[in-house]
Amino acid sequence: MNHPDGPQLITYADRLGGGLTDLRRLLDGPLAGAFDGVHVLPYYRPFDGADAGFDPEDHTIVDPRLGTWEDIRALSERGVVMSDVIVNHVSIRSEQFRDVVEHGDDSPWAPMFLTLSSVFPDGVTEADLARIYRPRPGLPFTTMTLGGVPRLVWTTFTPEQVDIDLRSDQAWDYLVSVLDALTGAGVTMIRLDAVGYAGKEAGTDCFMTAATQAYVDRITELAHERGASVLLEIHGHYLQQVEIARTVDYVYDFALPPLVLHALHGRDLAPLARWMEVRPTNAVTVLDTHDGIGIVDVGPNDLRPGEPGLLGPEQIDALVESIHDASGGASRLATGAAASNLDLYQVNCTFYDALGRDDRRYLLARLVQLMLPGIPQVYYVGLLAGENDMELFGRTGVGRDINRAYFTPQDVQAHLERPVVACQLEALRLRSSHEAFQGEFSSEIDGTRAVLTWTAPESAVQLCFDVEDASFALAERRGAGPWRAVVSDGDLSPMAEAARLAATRH
């Protein structure tokens, strides 16, 4: 490991040709030097539930089909390991909730789970229900029979995921057991999944309430006591991210992906430039993740009434249509009400398809991400410049599966030989190893052209680019030596690709 803030890979344990052992071999083999850490998406039992592991039945057990806690420890010995603590909910098939289903309020676990009356013991009005913020259509309740009595159980995301009541001792005993299992295996970064919805309070929109902040503070203290830092996963108005960043270890820069897409589709750097002036630097940067491309993060929304977004409504509409057009309509089929189990504020599409499979614009987007301050994370599909998986989406009907492809070892090897992937890896290795990234960052933006620079004593890295034609050049200098070209748009020309393929054959 070179830098604790170096690049990290985001991946499911089973989608790069195997399990946890195979993932380590990949990181130490063809991906060596590119990643200083890895965010392994939920590997708990079961990893293949209704929400791809985000609905754990047992959050303290590694699914044996993937490996063991020793495999997680082995990953931690080579670099940072980030894991998810799913704060808001568990599976309806968890041992605790199944006991509540059988015994109702007589179950010792009954206080751990939220029902409508848990939050509104004095009754609820139409205004109370209309105020609740939910990322999906409809109200966040599912009728279930608990101990023979029909109840309205709080299910923010899906009927398969029942929400936890963090006011109860049982919930905190559960969360502490999860933290102990993770940190005991060497996990040093904790991602709080969906924590913004965990602080339900009557008289509020039940999102990012005062109770939420108190819960985040408590979990953060517990994590710090165990040697781990905390990343909050919050989608909302961009000003919320700026404010929250002042109180936590890390936040996501979820505004970056749509702003980069806007810059490349609209040939307009102004919104990205505005964001760079105010964005928090204790950020984890992404282009793509296991979820969709967030739009709410750059627009106006009801969470901050009267506050404009980084993009206006017309710009957002144009961006979404540009993504749909670039993907040949595939993202339209997988987004919003067109597909099941989806967040309405996200566009479901691989980032590669969102840019029309244009290698130059795609690589430029990745370079911009790698140059910005923060911890860059690269999703496994994005690393391989993967295309929309319409077959998987067709089988499951879940829109986000369009960007959750399975790769065989042969698939991985074939993708690694593509110039756009090889150039990404070269840039990632530079980001991981170059001392300039421990120095000072500066930027100059003039119309469609920009220069992003990192400078340290006697070393520098610089990216020059123009979103008008997607031309770019990444160069580095060490010590008193000359500037050296690292990658440029010319590396993706047909002649360059032919030369690279010829070299691999010999």
Burial class (CB in 10 A: 0-12, 13-18, 19+), 5: buried
Task: Mark out the alpha helices in 53-165 (DSSP H runs).
Answer: 69-76, 95-103, 116-119, 126-131
- Is the distance from CB of 26 to CB of 12 less than 8 angstroms? no
In sequence order, which residues have a C-beta less than 8 Å from that of residue 74 and are 6 or more positions away? Answer: 20, 21, 24
- Is the distance from CB of 63 to CB of 52 less than 8 angstroms? no
For residues 412 and 404, give the distance between their C-alpha atoms in angstroms, rounded to a whole number: 14
Per the residue annotation, which of 36, 84, 163, 193 is the catalytic one? 193
Per the residue annotation, which of 233, 297, 353, 491 is the catalytic one? 233
Q: Which DSSP letter does residue 157 get?
A: S
Q: Is 28 a catalytic residue?
A: no
Q: Is 193 a catalytic residue?
A: yes
Phi (first) and psi of residue 38, to 5 degrees: -145, 135
- C-alpha dist (Å) from residue 473 to 195, 423, 476, 494: 40, 12, 10, 17
Q: Give the SS3 label for residue 465.
A: strand
Task: Mark out the alpha helices in 132-232 (DSSP H runs).
Answer: 169-184, 210-225
Beta bridge mates, 84: 191
Gyration radius (Cα) of the chain, Å: 23
Q: Give the SS3 label for residue 445.
A: strand
In sequence order, which residues have a C-beta less than 8 Å from that of residue 416 and are 6 or more positions away? Answer: 30, 384, 422, 425
Token digits for 200?
Answer: 């339900």
Q: Give the SS3 label for residue 165.
A: coil
Residue-wise burial string across 309-344, b where 16 or more C-beta atoms lie within 10 A, e elsewhere: bbbeeebbeebbebbbebbeebbbbbbbeebebbbe
Cα 114 to the chain's mean position, in Å? 26
For residues 202 and 187, give the distance between their C-alpha atoms in angstroms, rounded to a whole number: 35
Q: Closest by alpha carbon to 88, among 216, 253, 222?
A: 216
**Amino acid sitting at position 222:** L
Q: Closest by alpha carbon to 286, among 259, 320, 309, 266?
A: 259
- CA atoms within 13 A of residue 150's CA, in its CB half-sphere: 3
| Residues with a known catalytic role | 193, 233
